[in-house]
Chain A
Amino acid sequence: MNQAEVSKLVSKLRINVPPTHRKLRSPKGPEGRIDKLRKTVTGLVKFERIELNYNRADEARQYTERLISEAIRHGDCHKPTMDTANFWLLEKELIHKLFKVLVPRYETSNSSYTRLINAPKPQYGRNIDKVVLELKGNPFPDLINNNTNNKLLIQNVLLDAAKQDYRQSKINEIAKNIGKTENAPLNESSKKPEAPEKPVES
């Protein structure tokens, strides 16, 4: 059992964080891992959408989220944060982008700042999970367009009609019952087989 470190405060990430870090194979060991991640984080902040292997993307995603949340919390006048940004962003003009573009973009957001989407695997070659890692609110067209919330889609039209139908039948039933509350048990027994109960959840 360890005690939580109290000297530093961090804000909670809105993504799932695995219990341990992932080793990215490198001849330089842990330093090489950090170097790889620095490159990826820089690339992500620069291009806003990159395609890469899942392992590295998932790690880089966590670091990017942390970097952005630190930048949001402390702003650009906090020296340690500036140092961290300087370390993680290899191209120095990206530091300006971080504090002047990304921080205002994500300041009021309530969800994670990045998105990880599975990409198609190459048909031949090594069987490695590929993903697309992107910053939310990037200028590119959406990758996911399964807008199944569209009310005009056929399945939604059908379900909506079914719901309305069910409600109508319920209302009719209630209306009948109100009229005949005195001899209700007799009526209900005769009515029930006509209108089978149909729960609608959609």
Chain B
Amino acid sequence: MRRQILCLSTKITHNSCTKALPLTRFLSSQEAIDRRYHLFTLEKKRQLDKVGRVEKIEVQYKGVPNDCTLVMNKGISTPYDCARHLSEWHTDTSALALLDGSVYWDMHRPLTENCTLELQHFRVPEPQQVNRAFWRTCSFMLGACATVAFKDTVPVKLHSFPGPDIRSGSFIYDVQLPTLKDWKPSQQELITLSAEYVKLVRQNEPLERLEVSEELALEMFVENEHKTRQIPSIARNHGKVTLYKVGKHVDISKGPMISNTKQIGRVAVVSVHKLNGNSEVNQLYRFQGVALPTGVIINHFAFSILTERAKKLNTVKSPIPKPLEREESESIAMKA
């Protein structure tokens, strides 16, 4: 396995973006997804193997039912594992972990040092960060939904999604559909999209996080020119790209995200708007949806208000710091 990876990495070093382009022709979207998933699992395995000798860390748990100390494995154990030591309720409801009272940590991200741990669910007194993670996850899942929802004849290229802004009323994913000109989804199509979304959510997949090098990220997203263009600017700061995986879908996101897709409850994909006036990317569509966490009971009337509002074009601009696309995102903002 390691040899494979080595082989791959040598290939990556030799490859450049321009060289990767011919490869894209031969990758159908499903193959690309499988390949990305395969690379992700390989890299994850490699990183786990790299941990080597198991060292122990002490995690001070704070919260219900009582404070306690857990001895966990460094670089292997995650907050989710800590929650499994406590109870099923903890594993099911915890969406985020709070380390040392300040760092928000994914539930499936290995712990690296001694720390205090608090588990956060959606009903904590100050749920802003949990809400943001939820909204981000919903956007992420919307990308996954968009990739699987269309027929093979319709190529889908994920572009990006802006940071979570709950007050805007909807979560967003910008997707390029090159073959569809002036597509306006019918009500039935929207319902189908929502159904696809719900199907994905019902698979109850955990959201796994992985930090990879820029080269590997470029290799993984070789067929998607938007992502390959974004990756260098994302990796500019510390040369790493944060990836998230749910099921077979892998995407770039800063994180943190919630623990499991089953924490997404009521959800609706509400509207798809075409973002016109975009010189660089044609047929860029903005998918919008609204969702609530599992266990939030809301009157159908109130939810209809939320969906009505989410139907309006959300004018949040893409925050991805890329010099190449700055004009583009601005143009989106100006248009909208």
Contact = CB atoms under 8 A, between A and B. Distances in A.
A4 interface: no
A201 B166 contact: no
A167 to B, nearest CB: 12
A198 B134 CA distance: 26
Contacts, number: 63
Interface stretch (A12-20, A31-39, A53-61, A156-164): A156-164
A165 B123 contact: no
Contact of B131 (A154, A161, A196, A200): A154
A154 B293 contact: yes
Interface residues of A, number: 21
A152 B127 contact: yes
A162 B305 contact: yes
Contacts of A201: 301-302
A109 interface: no
Contacts of B301: 201
Q: How large is the interface on B (under 10, 10 to 19, 20 to 34, 35 or more residues)?
A: 20 to 34
Interface string B121-159: 011011110010011000000000000000000000000
Interface in A172-202: 196, 198-202
A165 B293 contact: no
Contacts of A153: 122-123, 127, 131, 296
Contacts of A157: 131, 166-167
B296 A165 contact: no
A202 B122 contact: no
A201 B127 CA distance: 23
- Of A146, A154, A200, A202, most buried by chain B (CB within 10 Å of CB) is A154
A84 interface: no
Given A146-B123, A161-B168, A162-B169, A155 B292 contact: yes
Nearest to A163: B305
B292 A154 contact: yes
A147 interface: yes
Given A161-B166, A161-B169, A154 B122 contact: yes
Contact of A158 (B123, B127, B290): B290
B166 A158 contact: yes
A65 to B, nearest CB: 30
Most-contacted residue by chain B among A159, A160, A196 (CB, 10 A): A159
Given A155-B292, A155-B296, A161-B167, A200 B305 contact: yes
A147 to B, nearest CB: 7
Interface string B93-136: 00000000000000000000000000000110111100100110
Nearest to A157: B166
Nearest to B311: A196
A145 interface: yes
Nearest to B167: A161
A165 B125 CA distance: 25
Contact of B306 (A150, A158, A196): A158
Interface of A: 145-147, 150, 152-155, 157-162, 165, 196, 198-202
